[in-house]
């Protein structure tokens, strides 16, 4: 059996979205900016996709959503755009973010420190989030941008974005949220959240890879990252990826359609898997179930090195992760676990399991069986884990 439990890294393209993308590779492949029929015949599908995006996020206008190549680009664009517009001009000095942001935010902010940005990186509390009071404590009128994610890629913890944006606005700062792990998993309404910028990426909600977007409230001015042609109203140059945009629009529409299913079926399977893991002695899971997106588990399994666990699971056909895919080649301990205050040993024993609406009950039963087997095998050969007698008696 092959079981994919790494949906926070990327997801399968929904077959319905894929079907809609197909004609735009070999039939309707014109450049939408061209004046001939080959170009103009792409327009209806592009318009539908952009409508699906702004309806899906409840943006006021389709011009408020600018398509990019990925959320890494969207995140870079916001941070660097604000740097050029507000900090390099001397208007303001500061950017505030959190220690658990994706590197697309954190590394960009750190890069800009060299160019004079006064950066504040907030630690998360024991629950793995930042509270409005924590943010208020470091705010002043000199803050140009607050960048805080909507949900964490490792823990799945949901941040109180509406309240955090309100605090930023009280001090005249702009507010960005990286909603990559939230879109498609929890309802996102940009007007209700009142954020100024929001990044998302199609491949995290069953759309294609290589296409994302940035929501910009009221199409406010923001220096471009990519200069060139007049694509996307001159805001983001580069020939439009028509099949990608078509796939992203449909994928968002489908994700919203399946939102209740995500919170019933996916949540039930996630909870079943989590409860089974917690039956194993010395296993803990980060964050309360209700405060997380419904698909994610970040577990720590004492005495079991995360990488060794992945090896055993991979042999059984199960895909999981020890941390975000972007950092997994470094074999470093999980930085999010460290940021939320777990000790070094726990940080090395992280296992992230992330489900999707395509997972079945049989797959979860299979995963429970093989994770349990792997824990037993790896603890059995661990030189550091004391094999508890009651554990032994449980017959595992
Ligand atoms: N932000 C978060 C929270 C993510 O989880 C990821 C990908 O893992 C990204 C940004 C980067 O997204 P993309 O792959 O579209 O560049």
Rounded-to-integer distance, Cα 327 and Cα 249, Å: 29
DSSP state of 284: E
Q: What number is the average pLDDT over the span 367-375?
A: 98
**What's the burial of 299, exposed, middle or buried (CB within 10 Å: 0-12/13-18/19+)?**
buried
Annotate 12-77 with DSSP letters as a single string: PPPHHHHHHHTHHHHTS---TTSSSHHHHTTHHHHHHHHHHHHHHHT-S-GGGEEEES-HHHHHHH
SS3 138: helix
Give every CB contact of residue 389 below 8 A, 6+ residues apart in sequence.
Answer: none
pLDDT in tens, 312-350: 999 999 999 986 554 445 556 666 777 776 766 777 889
Q: Is the pLDDT of residue 85 over 70?
A: yes
For residue 9, which atom of ligand 1 is closest to its CA? 8
Q: Binning pLDDT at 50, 70 and 90, where does residue 263 land?
A: very high
Question: Catalytic residue at 26?
Answer: no
Mutation probe of ligand 1 site: the residue of 178, 201, 335 with most atoms within 8 A of C-beta: 201
CB neighbours of residue 329 within 10 Å? 7
Q: What are phi and psi of 354, to 5 degrees?
A: -130, 125
Rounded-to-integer distance, Cα 331 and Cα 120, Å: 27
From the CA of 69, how far away is ligand 1's center (Å)? 11
303 torsion bin: left (phi>0), alpha (psi -120 to 50), beta (else):
left
Q: What is the pTM of this model?
A: 0.94
Per annotation, catalytic residue among 26, 70, 109, 326: 326
Measuring from atom 12 of ligand 1, which residue has the nearest CA? 71
Query: 56 with 252: CB under 8 angstroms?
Result: yes
From the CA of 246, how far away is ligand 1's center (Å)? 20
Measuring from atom 16 of ligand 1, which residue has the nearest CA? 72
From the CA of 71, how far away is ligand 1's center (Å)? 6
Smallest Cα–Cα separation from 149: which of 192, 120, 178? 178
How, if at all, do strands 174-178 and 143-147 pair?
parallel
Q: What number is the average pLDDT over the span 293-315?
A: 95
Q: What is the pLDDT of residue 158?
A: 98
Segment among 126-130, 167-171, 242-246, 292-296 with least mean pLDDT: 126-130
pLDDT > 70 in the chain, percent: 92
How, if at all, do strands 65-68 and 283-285 pair?
unpaired
Please list every protein residue whose CB sits less than 6 Å from any atom of ligand 1: 70-72, 102, 104, 149, 153, 178, 180-181, 201, 212, 324
pLDDT in tens, 140-172: 999 999 999 999 999 999 999 999 999 999 999
Mean pLDDT of the chain: 93
SS3 201: strand
Q: What is the pLDDT of residue 393?
A: 44
Instruction: Give, in order, the Cα–Cα distances in Å from 286 to each of 42, 179, 183, 297, 332.
Output: 46, 20, 21, 7, 19
DSSP state of 123: P
For residue 72, which atom of ligand 1 is closest to its CA? 16
From the CA of 302, how far away is ligand 1's center (Å)? 28
Smallest Cα–Cα separation from 181: which of 221, 217, 128? 128
Q: Is the pLDDT of residue 391 over 70?
A: no
Number of H helices, E strands in the chain: 17, 12
From the CA of 31, how far away is ligand 1's center (Å)? 28
Rounded-to-integer distance, Cα 120 and Cα 118, Å: 7
């Amino acid at each position: 059996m092959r079981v994919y439990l790494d949906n926070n890294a990327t997801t399968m393209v929904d077959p319905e979205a894929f079907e809609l993308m197909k004609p735009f590779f070999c039939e309707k492949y014109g450049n939408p900016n061209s004046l001939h029929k080959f170009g103009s015949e792409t327009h209806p599908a592009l318009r539908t996709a952009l409508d699906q995006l702004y309806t899906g996020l409840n943006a006021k206008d389709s011009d408020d959503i600018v398509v990019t190549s990925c959320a890494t680009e969207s995140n870079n664009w916001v941070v660097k755009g604000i740097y050029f517009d507000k900090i390099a001009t001397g208007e303001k000095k500061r950017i505030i973010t959190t220690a658990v942001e994706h590197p697309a935010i954190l590394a960009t902010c750190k890069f800009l420190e060299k160019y004079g940005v006064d950066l504040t990186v907030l630690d998360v509390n024991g629950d793995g989030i930042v509270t409005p009071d924590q943010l208020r404590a470091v705010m002043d009128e000199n803050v140009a941008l607050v960048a805080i994610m909507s949900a964490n890629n490792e823990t799945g913890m949901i941040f109180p974005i509406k309240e955090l944006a309100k605090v930023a606005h009280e001090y005249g700062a702009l507010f960005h949220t990286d909603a990559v792990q939230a879109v498609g998993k929890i309802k996102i309404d940009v007007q209700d959240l009142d954020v100024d910028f929001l990044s998302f990426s199609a491949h995290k909600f069953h759309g294609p890879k290589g296409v994302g977007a940035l929501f910009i409230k009221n199409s406010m001015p923001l220096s471009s990252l990519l200069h060139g042609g007049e694509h996307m109203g001159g805001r983001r140059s580069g020939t439009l990826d028509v099949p990608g945009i078509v796939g992203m629009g449909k994928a968002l529409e489908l994700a919203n359609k399946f939102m209740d299913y995500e919170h019933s079926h996916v949540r039930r399977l996630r909870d079943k898997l989590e409860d089974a893991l917690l039956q194993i002695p010395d296993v803990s899971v980060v964050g309360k179930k209700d405060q997380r997106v419904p698909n994610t588990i970040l577990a720590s399994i004492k005495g079991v090195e995360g990488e060794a666990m992945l090896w055993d699971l991979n042999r059984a056909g199960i895909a999981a992760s020890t941390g975000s895919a972007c950092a997994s080649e470094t074999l470093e301990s999980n930085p999010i676990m460290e940021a939320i205050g777990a000790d070094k040993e726990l940080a090395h024993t992280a296992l992230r399991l992330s489900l999707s609406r395509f997972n079945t009950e049989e797959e979860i039963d299979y995963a429970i069986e093989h994770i349990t087997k792997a824990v037993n095998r790896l603890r059995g050969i661990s030189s550091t884990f004391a094999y508890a007698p009651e554990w032994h008696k449980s017959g595992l």
